[in-house]
Chains A and B, each alone.
Chain A
């Protein structure tokens, strides 16, 4: 009898330990699909499809009990966040529900709260025994300007009680007339007062307006993927570089150059960072920021871009990095720990040339900096060797989350497929 009591206590203890001792292996019942869910992964890894489609998925979070929360860019049956549960423990979703009447991208989960963003607000719900308490909904940031281009709000939390919100620029290059040939760049660019950066808010104060936040970093055209790196205590993000160099300046850039410029930038954001948009763009072939043609640049001259903050890594153009995740789990081999996973949603602005992206990359890290080149970690999403048009892609990797056992979860923006990647 006493033995059972002790066993029960031990079981209860494990049941309620949120993240103290993280498991290093997925449960034996969780097995990779025979075809790895259609993904191509490095040796030793396996993939399984958790759900075939939840809707137009954006970012994702996974709770300590394994429940999966997926944000949607378009309401499904009037709801904007889908909850997937795995009741029999085989890794596949066998029960789903949804809550919240607002669509959007951002999601962040702690053991106490689930934060979710629409394009105009950030709200949070209290977590009760691993479930969202819908009645507890509080508005944290409200009244944000609604706009289409780069209007989605991604969010991240640090360990000091701050909430970071991305404010993408409603513009390509801050021209007087957006994306119009011959239209000059506005100087100074008025968009930077309220957009084109990341703002920091109090994660625990209700009803903050945009003006209550601090402009934490600026000169950033658009960020969709960002993450707080717990190992270094710093915020990192992926910038989407500008489009259409050849459409707007055909005399300076041919279609090949326009397909390869500028870099998609991996940024380390410090308070006061300025990465130079719209005046500058990063050229990974010259390894520097150069003056944008809208501001008199010729593709080489740096001028005012010389002092702007540089990326910690530069990726090929237009790949659209839509999620960033620093891996803190113990399931994957040690070299993955504290490294970065990046979802490249896939390009469109390389047409008529072959598109790029459509995979999940891994970047090894040491001392808060990339310690090697990027590696293709997961590919096969789009369903073909070559994607000519984005619309041909069967799936596009969009969101990333880490499960309590160190599994990696990936969402798809086309049908909302959800994969889980495990190490076997």
Chain B
């Protein structure tokens, strides 16, 4: 009997461990939460952008610019792609200045940049057209 008490939790742990291993990889929490096909743009946003620009894209007053209702996001896509590729420093946005420097994110692939920008342009109340991988490739080639 004493042995059974010890064995049961081990058995349970074994099952859980096995089930966890069987789960599809690289879908992590988003997969568990939404139980739908994850938006790859959202995952890139959460990995590289959210810390500064926040979950709702509202940014941090005086430090990190908002991504909501600004021409920088909604307007010229070449300028926006260049922000990702080259970073941005000490620029006035909607009449306010922001102190933190955005580092270049040129290590992201053309596809990843297209996906994250499409996510940003169609979320947080933004309604602008998507960005294609081809658009990013052209801008990157020009630099």
Give the residue name and chain of the B residue nearest to A175 (CB): B103
18 of the cross-chain contacts (CB-CB < 8 Å) are: A73-B62, A74-B96, A74-B97, A147-B90, A148-B89, A150-B99, A177-B104, A178-B101, A180-B104, A352-B55, A388-B55, A389-B54, A390-B61, A391-B54, A391-B60, A391-B61, A392-B58, A413-B62
On B, residues with C-beta under 8 Å from A are: 46-48, 50-52, 54-56, 58-64, 66, 89-90, 96-104, 107
Instruction: Check A390 against B51 for contact (C-beta < 8 Å).
Output: no
Residues of B near A149 (CB, < 8 A) are: 99-101
- Our count of residue pairs bridging A and B at CB distance below 8 angstroms stands at 71
Complex partner residue of B90 from A148, A180, A250, CB under 8 angstroms: A148
- Alpha-carbon separation in the docked complex, A70 to B80 (Å): 37
Instruction: Check A348 against B63 for contact (C-beta < 8 Å).
Output: yes
Q: Can you add 17 more A-B contacts, CB < 8 Å, to A74-B96, A388-B56?
A: A56-B62, A73-B62, A148-B89, A148-B90, A148-B97, A148-B98, A148-B100, A179-B101, A250-B47, A351-B54, A351-B55, A352-B50, A389-B54, A389-B56, A390-B58, A391-B59, A391-B61
Closest A-B pairs by Cβ, 5 of them:
A391-B58, A148-B99, A348-B60, A180-B103, A148-B90
Known contacts A348-B63, A352-B46; A148 and B101 CB within 8 A of each other: yes
Does A349 touch B at the CB level, under 8 Å? yes
Does A17 touch B at the CB level, under 8 Å? no
Residues of A near B101 (CB, < 8 A) are: 148-149, 178-179
Give the residue name and chain of the B residue nearest to A392 (CB): B58
- Alpha-carbon separation in the docked complex, A388 to B55 (Å): 8
Residues of B near A178 (CB, < 8 A) are: 101, 103
- Alpha-carbon separation in the docked complex, A330 to B96 (Å): 41
Does A273 touch B at the CB level, under 8 Å? no
Known contacts A351-B50, A352-B50, A352-B55; A151 and B99 CB within 8 A of each other: yes
Residues of B near A177 (CB, < 8 A) are: 103-104
Chain A interface bracket (under 10, 10 to 19, 20 to 34, 35 or more): 20 to 34
- Alpha-carbon separation in the docked complex, A150 to B90 (Å): 12
Residues of A near B55 (CB, < 8 A) are: 351-352, 388-389
Interface string of A131-159 (1 = CB under 8 A from B): 00000000000000001111100000000
Interface string of A356-400 (1 = CB under 8 A from B): 000000000000000000000000000000001111100000000
Does A247 touch B at the CB level, under 8 Å? yes
- Alpha-carbon separation in the docked complex, A272 to B58 (Å): 41
On A, residues with C-beta under 8 Å from B are: 56, 73-74, 147-151, 177-182, 243-244, 246-247, 250, 348-349, 351-352, 388-392, 413-414
Residues of A near B48 (CB, < 8 A) are: 247
Instruction: Check B54 against A348 for contact (C-beta < 8 Å).
Output: yes
Known contacts A148-B89, A348-B60, A348-B64; A390 and B99 CB within 8 A of each other: no
Residues of B near A181 (CB, < 8 A) are: 107
Shortest A124–chain B CB gap in Å is 25
Interface-central residue, B50, B52, B64, B102, by most chain A CB under 10 Å: B52
Instruction: Check B51 against A351 for contact (C-beta < 8 Å).
Output: yes
Instruction: Check B60 against A179 for contact (C-beta < 8 Å).
Output: no
Residues of A near B104 (CB, < 8 A) are: 177, 180
- Alpha-carbon separation in the docked complex, A187 to B44 (Å): 31
Instruction: Check A390 against B90 for contact (C-beta < 8 Å).
Output: no
Give the residue name and chain of the A residue nearest to B55 (CB): A352
Residues of B near A391 (CB, < 8 A) are: 54, 56, 58-61, 66
Give the residue name and chain of the B residue nearest to A146 (CB): B90
Shortest B34–chain A CB gap in Å is 15
- Alpha-carbon separation in the docked complex, A218 to B60 (Å): 28
Residues of A near B102 (CB, < 8 A) are: 179
- Alpha-carbon separation in the docked complex, A247 to B49 (Å): 9
Shortest B60–chain A CB gap in Å is 4
Residues of A near B51 (CB, < 8 A) are: 243-244, 246-247, 349, 351
- Alpha-carbon separation in the docked complex, A307 to B46 (Å): 38
Residues of B near A392 (CB, < 8 A) are: 58
Shortest A154–chain B CB gap in Å is 14
Shortest B131–chain A CB gap in Å is 22
